[in-house]
Structure 1
Amino acid sequence: MIGRIGGVDGVALETEKWATVLRRLGHEVFILAGELEAEVPGSTVLPELAFSHPATLREQDDAFFVQDADEREFVDRLHRDADRIGHDVLAWLTSERIDVLITQNSTTLPCHLTMGMALKRVIELTGIPTIAHDHDFHWERGDRYATRYAGVRDIIEECFPPDLPNLTHVVINSYCRDSLRERHGIEAHVVPNVMDFDAGFGQPDDFNRRIPDELGFAPNDIVLFQMTRVVRRKGIETAIELVERLDDPRVKLVVTGHATDDYNGEYLGELHRRAARLPRPEQVRFAADRFANVRVAENGAPGKFSLSDGYAFAHACTYFSRYEGFGNAFVEALAAKVPIFVNNYEPVYWPDIGSKGFKTVQIENNELTDRAVEDARAVLTDADRRADIAEFNHEIGRRHFSYEVLGRRLDRLLAA
């Protein structure tokens, strides 16, 4: 169960991977979502679960952004809406004969209060065995979920996350495990984000061979890909700085992600202005209109390339994030056999990923040193070195972040 699926955000991507692995293990998988951003097998839409639903947007304004509602009336409305959603969720569980419920970040962030409230009630009422896949928690978001309403604070304390005997929590990194234990006394299992290392991810084919021409690359261009959404914490300005400091007209940076989560387009505007100040502004391409989570072929139109298509033509990837719950783009680069330039992002990179022994160009605190620039140049201009790094990282990634790893851990969770 998830608010939205079919898109490129980490929660949606991992949910689809879990569904794939569960099916490989022989389970039948049904998905209840508020919104489908692309076709997803086995899915049912319940619009009230969507983050973009008018009732959800109103609840968020009342609870966190505007906070000018009458508290008693507002909290009563939340409970009524939660009851209605809970009734619909219960009907879905019954009609699909669900044996185990898996929630995807639905009871961690209060970005949909009534969904979390409804889920707690349903899980408690039915006693259904439940796995809560917790990608990140509200206390990691600063004052985003601060509210003047005591009633809302009580809801957050009780439902985000809930602590129930039939509910097993799964987190994606050791920091979340430790903070969940310290704040709520809840023990959680760590299951990292994964990729299918046997799927031929990031391979050239007849469809994606059009990328160089369609994006205007010359045959000798050196292409960096930024495979993330456009949000401030991704540190995309550091990738633009790297292009400037490399001072090589062959180097191009392609930003594939959309900016729908960049409120008011402020950060995207800053990036466009930063790129425009380069001696060669054409070295940075914002190409969200040409990329999607999955390939889209349209009759008589250019269509869209997938993330896998983009990796197929990347000399390296930039990933200078300041903060991540895990780091899907890092694992994607491992699977695609593409070198990666990375910031030691909080709170996950070194404890859960970097310490595994990957070969990267790594910076600290988003400070692009002269040494890092020269190391990046050496990788980008030496094809043999890129190939060696990519193969080395691919094998370590397979050992720690593959579908096989996920399959073993899900088997243990479901057998418990």
Structure 2
Amino acid sequence: MGTHIGFVSTRFTAADGVTMEAGKWAEVLHECGHECFWWGGEVHKDPSRSMVVPEAHFLHPENRWIQAEAFGREIRSPELTQRIHDYRALLKERLCDFLETFDIGLLVVENALATPLHIPLGLALTEVIAERKLPTIAHHHEFSWEQSRCSVNCVRDFLSMAFPPALPTIQHVVISSAAHEDLAHRRGVSSFVIPNVLDFDHPPEPDPEKGRALRRQLGLDPEAKLIVQPTRVIRRKGIEHAVEIAGALKDLGYRLLITHQAGEVDPEYASWLQNQARQHGVSLTFLGTHVVDPWVETAPPEDAVALWDIYPHADLITYPSLYEGFGNAFLEAIYFRKPLVVNRYANFVRDIEPLGFNLLIMDGYVSRRLVARIRDVLQSEEQRRAMVEHNYRLAHRHFSYGVLRRCLSFLLMNFFGMET
């Protein structure tokens, strides 16, 4: 008999790594006979299996006030302490309602016990798990010590308590070997490494009509050549390098498409990128609409575009990130059999590069040699096909649903003593 599994985070909505990996985990767990339920500040899942608590969203006004008061200063006011505790008590009550309403037997906490984007939620979760001895998988994507904004703060006691907590009923999961070592060193907490995955047993099946509609929406000719940067517009994504690459290929007619909205997170960076594109003579397009998670279960906005509808139109994927916890866009490019430019960010060098993928490697800057190799690949169908097929086979071996299924079965056996 399957377990009722509750997924908890600040939101399950956008096409970000946390939401998308949660969708994949839920898909695999459902295939194994378990029922999955959702709790968060905004949830685009089946409403009959979801509990939406607006106060849990990291953008809730009260939480934004707490964030502003907690970070960037070293002295904490009594008012901040009290408001954190009041908020924690409210969320604790809502979490208990969720556990009882859906008879939850196992929690999967997505990043809410790793990054202190919502301190009261982390505290509430820690208390509920401790009091109920609740079996919990804490899936960590990014820790506070990896974020410069958290280096100066007045809430170190709260961070030590809940980000992450060391409790006997929590099994910690990280997405890289570096995170595994950091967690052990900084918190004395052991963890399992489970990489991000995709369903490489079932290749994507693009919808031609959706493709034509997307090109019309973007004002693109049917034969327009596209370089796609499939990330949010934030500085650590290194998108200026994608602009430089597009500039080096403009004589071949390539345009640059960035999948997420300009200025949604960092307006100044988005404006600077637009200026860089003008200077390089690059035709730059921000998608300018909602990009939805491929595992979304509710009706998306009318102008929404699924991330899976964008990839088939790329001739080249750029992924020049300066830092990534793992790198979903790396797997997605391989899944859609696209040549990929990737910067050698630390976790790529350590966990992915040794596996032997055939990629267009950038080592911190766009070199003439890299541009020449990109041109060779784009202009040689035989070379391109050999590259993407090799990468697909390798990813199937290391990053498929089968890998995730075995890992989750092991974790559940640790809790319940039976195979799943």
Distance 2:322 2:239 in 1: 10
Give 1:364's aligned amino acid.
D
Give 1:286's aligned amino acid.
F
Q: Secondary structure of the residue that 2:244 maps to in structure 1?
A: helix
How far did residue 336 of structure 1 move? 1.0
Distance 2:19 2:124 in 1: 20
Q: Secondary structure of the residue that 1:13 maps to in structure 2?
A: helix
Listed one character per residue, the Cα deviations across residues 238-284 of structure 1 (whole Å, up to 9, x for unaligned) are 01101112342411111111246523x011000111111233x4x22
Counterpart position of 2:402 = 404
Contact conserved, 1:220 with 1:250, CA < 8 A, in 2? no
How far did residue 210 of structure 1 move? 3.2
Give 2:19's aligned amino acid.
A
Counterpart position of 2:15 = 8
Give 1:103's aligned amino acid.
V
Listed one character per residue, the Cα deviations across residues 31-54 of structure 1 (whole Å, up to 9, x for unaligned) are 111113576773210111101111
2:331 equivalent to 1:331:
yes
TM-score by length of structure 2 reads 0.91
- The structure-2 alpha-carbon separation of the partners of 1:173 and 1:253, relative to structure 1 and needing over 3 Å to count, comes to same
TM-score by length of structure 1 reads 0.91
Q: Pick one of 50, 56, 59 that aligns with 1:52.
A: 59
Contact conserved, 2:14 with 2:291, CA < 8 A, in 1? no
Contact conserved, 2:111 with 2:142, CA < 8 A, in 1? yes
Distance 2:337 2:290 in 1: 22
Distance 1:213 1:87 in 2: 48
Listed one character per residue, the Cα deviations across residues 70-126 of structure 1 (whole Å, up to 9, x for unaligned) are 622321221222122112101211121111111000111111000000011000000
* Superposition pairs of residues 13-412 of structure 1, within 5 angstroms: 13-36=20-43, 42-64=49-71, 71-147=77-153, 149=154, 152-201=155-204, 203-218=206-221, 220-259=223-262, 262-263=265-266, 265-279=267-281, 281=282, 283-289=283-289, 291-294=291-294, 303-346=303-346, 348-365=347-364, 367-412=365-410
Listed one character per residue, the Cα deviations across residues 205-245 of structure 1 (whole Å, up to 9, x for unaligned) are 22213334443444554321111111111111101101112
How far did residue 409 of structure 1 move? 0.6
% identical aligned pairs? 35
- The structure-2 alpha-carbon separation of the partners of 1:119 and 1:96, relative to structure 1 and needing over 3 Å to count, comes to same
Counterpart position of 2:418 = none
Distance 1:99 1:116 in 2: 19
Distance 2:330 2:113 in 1: 26
Distance 1:116 1:305 in 2: 32
Show structure 2 runs of 5+ residues with no match: 1-7, 415-420
Distance 2:219 2:149 in 1: 43
**Runs of 4+ residues over 4 Å off in structure 1:** 37-41, 65-68
Distance 1:331 1:251 in 2: 23
Count of matched residue positions in the alignment of Structure 1 and Structure 2: 404
Give 2:242's aligned amino acid.
A
Distance 2:173 2:48 in 1: 24
Distance 2:216 2:199 in 1: 29
Give 2:56's aligned amino acid.
L
- The structure-2 alpha-carbon separation of the partners of 1:383 and 1:288, relative to structure 1 and needing over 3 Å to count, comes to farther
Bigger mean CA deviation after superposition, 335-344 or 209-218: 209-218
- The structure-2 alpha-carbon separation of the partners of 1:317 and 1:85, relative to structure 1 and needing over 3 Å to count, comes to same
Contact conserved, 2:20 with 2:294, CA < 8 A, in 1? no
- The structure-2 alpha-carbon separation of the partners of 1:90 and 1:290, relative to structure 1 and needing over 3 Å to count, comes to closer
- The structure-2 alpha-carbon separation of the partners of 1:71 and 1:90, relative to structure 1 and needing over 3 Å to count, comes to same
Contact conserved, 1:177 with 1:190, CA < 8 A, in 2? yes
Listed one character per residue, the Cα deviations across residues 350-407 of structure 1 (whole Å, up to 9, x for unaligned) are 2111221111010112x11110000111111222222221111111111111111111
Q: Secondary structure of the residue that 1:164 maps to in structure 2?
A: coil
Q: Secondary structure of the residue that 1:157 maps to in structure 2?
A: helix
Q: Secondary structure of the residue that 1:170 maps to in structure 2?
A: strand
How far did residue 294 of structure 1 move? 4.4
